[in-house]
Structure 1
């Protein structure tokens, strides 16, 4: 079986887990940006952050940046983690192989080609640096968002048939090296994949916002 066929087979296998695991392919309409627009210093990324800030009524650009990256990593790491969990071929989610947009449904992504990917750090690091370049949000916070998205995906996969032990083993593998190492810890909890991160995504700073289930801060 070719690499294209193996990636496509994996994407078909996992897409039913939830909408966040469905990763579509192909060139979309003109409302989408090339993935490289995240990195080129142009207006696409700042414009998306401005729209998030307006939508959530926050004057803190770092909060908007955090929310953007939470959505981005949830959309990308869900299929990547699920592919690894079902022993499939994880897709290439580097910016060069993506289309993206921010709209009423939040951050959305599409693949250009069904090819095999690289590790999480290499896939996300350019985007972390691009976001950090346009707003003073801590890199550790952004990597904590990635860790939260990966752990959340493991929890969904665990409820979809993969054993908790296998999910935790994959989590330990994914978080074994920087920059995810030290971003949080898995907590023993019967029948679930429970995770607590070591940084906060700043959601509590929104009007009416609270703390997330994996937040290290006291509940608000």
Structure 2
């Protein structure tokens, strides 16, 4: 439904603001290759990269928040969902962006111990025809890591003593990046801002438990989720995980804090861990 207008967005000139040339041995590029060698990469933007780029179609957060562009993205979400209820399309639009912002960054942390800079001035995305993020670029090359990282002395590194401080840095960067997105989406979604921030929390906790399990350290990832979330507003709800079943090795899943509204789509239903389902039960 929105394919042609979105394709028009994708021919914008390649931007240069904040982008620097990075060699393949840059610590962030090595972290991206390490993540790319795992199964997690199959479910992340295939065009994940760091540094400057020469191809076209890259957009920054501010390019996505204009009314006309949000109209196109909302129409694309409605087409995929088969439903134009604004509570559903607005929530899915926010969750889609929040997931593509948080999951690759948290994947780099869990796979390589480094968090990329997600400053909206130097983070670029490229959209597929259906509005999905098909590529993501950390154009500055800056990253955060622990003091014991062998690359802690790199000029692009910001170092922290422990995971508490490292994840506090990322939490605040995530909030700064997403605050204008939540503000733009809330009136369109006809939902409260607190409800939308809960969707962001669900994206983060869901990404961490899934990526951690895929990389073989789910318990460690879930412990880190507890350092990222439930500490301060607007991401102040502690993550909640539960074991499904009683057998040894039964999977651990994230219990949603907010509702994704998917039950509003034709044939939709409440997610198994939806808070609405718990209230009804």
Same fold (TM over 0.5): yes
Q: Structure 2 length normalisation: TM-score? A: 0.66
Aligned counterparts, 1:40-189, within 5 A: 41-86=66-111, 88-96=113-121, 97-101=123-127, 103-104=129-130, 106-113=132-139, 114-116=141-143, 118-119=170-171, 120-175=174-229, 176-182=231-237, 184-187=239-242
Matching of residue 24 in structure 1 with residue 79 in structure 2: no
3-state secondary structure, aligned to 1:90: strand
The more displaced of 106-115 and 7-16 is 106-115
Offset, 1:150 = 1.6
Deviations, residues 192-216 of structure 1 (Å, cap 9, x unaligned) = 4422122211011000122234322
User: 5+ unaligned residues in a row in structure 2: which ranges?
Assistant: 1-22, 145-169
Offset, 1:170 = 0.4
Q: Structure 1 length normalisation: TM-score? A: 0.81
1:33–1:44: 8 Å Cα contact kept in structure 2? Answer: no
**Separation of aligned partners in 2, 1:27 and 1:61:** 37
Offset, 1:27 = 5.4
Larger Rg: 2
**Separation of aligned partners in 1, 2:192 and 2:77:** 18
**Separation of aligned partners in 2, 1:135 and 1:57:** 16
1:37–1:45: 8 Å Cα contact kept in structure 2? Answer: no
**Separation of aligned partners in 2, 1:102 and 1:64:** 18
Offset, 1:140 = 2.3
**Separation of aligned partners in 1, 2:54 and 2:216:** 32
3-state secondary structure, aligned to 2:255: strand
Offset, 1:147 = 1.9
Q: Which residue matches 1:11?
A: 32
Deviations, residues 159-210 of structure 1 (Å, cap 9, x unaligned) = 2334233112101001022222226522356564422122211011000122
Aligned counterparts, 1:204-215, within 5 A: 204-215=263-274
**Separation of aligned partners in 1, 2:126 and 2:193:** 21
3-state secondary structure, aligned to 1:141: helix
2:28–2:143: 8 Å Cα contact kept in structure 1? Answer: yes
Offset, 1:109 = 4.3
2:209–2:222: 8 Å Cα contact kept in structure 1? Answer: no
3-state secondary structure, aligned to 1:167: helix
**Separation of aligned partners in 2, 1:160 and 1:130:** 34
User: 5+ unaligned residues in a row in structure 1: which ranges?
Assistant: none
